[in-house]
Amino acid sequence: MKRTIEAILFWGAVALVWEYGVTLAGVRSYLMPSLSKVIAAGWEERELLLAESWVTLLEVLAGFALAVIGGLLLGVAIHFSAIARRTLYPLITALQSMPKIALAPLMIVWFGYGFSSKLASTFLFAFFPLVIATLGGLSGIAANLEEHFRALGASRWDTLLRLQLPSALPSFVDGVKIAMPLAVIGAIVGEFIGSEKGLGHLMTLATANAQTDLMFAAILTITVLASLLYWAVEVMSRAVWWRGKAV
């Protein structure tokens, strides 16, 4: 109850500062509308916001699922294969070093303006933390535990399933929590570059039409969507009970 009250008081203070701060500071509404105007615009266009949110949500979930599978498989391959460590790992690192905004137009050229380009953009933004988290988890296993499994005659497959993957799960879960907001960013960036649907596309239209209040309403919707997805990941991560108590 105390934590809930503290959160309510904090966000209430933020809302009051936003509502009355822009008025007292004399900021023009086309630059920074008050919170009440943003909420009013969001309520007026609630059906549009909801429809575009579903589009973005599907892009995020699909791209994130691919990133989780791809990140886990790549991390395991790099950890156990010296060839993959010498070839794939530098390639993935180089790809991560490239600005994703610069790659987004290529996604449009390669995959078009439809769902596939948003899927690729979401995957590119989200998969690298999952690869690193998998590698970190697998590398952090105590050597004596692996020696114990070998002494018991466990096969490499049994060691992977019964020791290495469970031991790496806490680190992997942390990577999943980092990757989820990045997946949302990837979907929005893909919609910015070229899309006919989604919250990113709605923001582009609102900016072009000087509808700053609607643009802020879309931003708040994206924030709420990302927060709910992160909370869902946090709830599911509690199944990994041996990862320790969350802060």
pLDDT by residue (tens digit) across 169-207?
A: 888 888 999 999 999 999 998 888 877 788 988 988 888
Tokens in use for 43? 């309520």
CA distances from 205 to 84, 164, 196, 227 (A): 44, 49, 10, 24
What pLDDT, on the 0 to 100 scale, is given for residue 195?
A: 76
What pLDDT, on the 0 to 100 scale, is given for residue 247?
A: 40
Average pLDDT, the chain: 85
| pTM above threshold 0.75 | yes
Does residue 245 have a pLDDT over 60?
no
How far is the C-alpha of 5 from the C-alpha of 125, rounded, in Å?
A: 35
Tokens in use for 150? 């070998």
- Residue corresponding to tokens 């469970």: 166
Count CB-CB contacts under 10 A for residue 188.
Answer: 27
Residues 117/108, Cβ–Cβ less than 8 Å = yes
DSSP label of 98: S
Q: pLDDT-derived band of residue 243, with 50, 70 and 90 as boundaries?
A: low
Tokens in use for 2? 């105390």
